[in-house]
Amino acid sequence: MNDLDPRAPLVLDTRELGRRPGSQREVLLTVPAPADLGIEVLAVPEGAPVELDLRMEAVMEGVLITGTAQAGLEGECARCLEPIREDLVVNFQELFVYDDIRDSADAEEDDEVSMLRDDLVDLEPLLRDAVVLALPFQPLCEDDCPGLCVECGARLADDPDHTHEAAIDPRWTALTALTEEAHEDHKD
């Protein structure tokens, strides 16, 4: 297991909090967004500011972190591919267990438990989970976005009356050609 870098933007030092249950500390941070914070079509751009409002509370087993993250999202509509820019606010809460309380056998049994490492907390996985789970699977520019025309690719929101002539069944193309030929012969 790698040691955490205490200078990393999303790593918090809990030593100042102490291990006395009930003690707490409020933390306001603005950190750069890590890479790939989001989904393929909608994400927080890497390096964009993420505002964190955190409360760290010492409890018997470790440190309970409750907070809110606010960031700007950029992406594209899943139906019409128009750019999307909107703000995202997510809430999260996680218990980080003291690494010296749990023995290695317990840690192997439950890989889902977040651990403090040398009294340091890595918020990146917590932030990533909260942001990704809050995003829509298929983001839309508008709730009723009609998308693109399947025949020509025109954006239907810009031209709501957009239509094409009814497509001719390919099995009838030979007959259509004969009809047009007969029509032209009749003109002459």
Q: Does the residue 88 lie in any domain?
A: yes
pLDDT of 15 over the 60 cut: yes
Average pLDDT, the chain: 85
pLDDT of amino acid 110: 55
Q: Does the residue 149 lie in any domain?
A: no
pLDDT of amino acid 105: 45
Query: What's the rounded Cα separation, in Å, for the pair 49 and 68?
Result: 14
Q: What is the pTM of this model?
A: 0.74
HSE at residue 8, side-chain half, CA atoms within 13 A, is 14
Q: Does the residue 152 lie in any domain?
A: no
pLDDT of amino acid 21: 85
Q: Does the residue 108 lie in any domain?
A: yes
pLDDT of 159 over the 50 cut: yes
Q: Does the residue 156 lie in any domain?
A: no
Q: Do 25 and 55 contact (CB within 8 A), yes or no?
A: yes
Q: Does the residue 65 lie in any domain?
A: yes
Per-residue pLDDT reduced to its tens digit, 126-151: 999 999 999 998 999 888 888 888 87
Number of domains in the chain: 1
